[in-house]
Amino acid sequence: MRRLTAALLCFSTVTLHAEPIRYEFDPAHTYPSFEADHMGISLWRGKFNHTTGSLTLDRAAGSGTVEAVVDLGSVDFGHDEMNAMARGDAFFDVARFPSARYRGRLVDFVDGAPTRVVGVLDLHGVSAPVELRINRFKCVPHPLLKRELCGADAFAEFERDVFGLTAGRDHGFDMTVTLRIQMEAVAEAAH
Taking only the tens place, the pLDDT of each residue in 8-67 is 444 443 444 468 999 999 999 999 999 998 888 888 999 999 999 999 999 999 999 999
Yes or no: say if 51 and 44 are a contact pair by the CB < 8 Å rule. Answer: no
Within 8 A by CB and 6+ apart from 161, the residues are 169, 175
- Total count of residues recorded for the chain: 191
pLDDT at 81: 95
Residue at 77: amino acid letter = F
**Average pLDDT of the segment spanning 111-122:** 96
pLDDT at residue 1 above 70? no
Helices (H) and strands (E) in the chain, counts: 2, 11
Cα 35 to Cα 4: distance, rounded to the nearest angstrom: 57
**What does pTM read for this prediction?**
0.86
pLDDT at residue 100 above 50? yes
pLDDT at 106: 97
pLDDT at 158: 96
Helix (H) or strand (E) holding 81: helix 80-87
Yes or no: say if 154 and 134 are a contact pair by the CB < 8 Å rule. Answer: yes
> Which residue segments constitute the domains of the chain, with CATH numbers given?
19-187 (2.40.128.110)
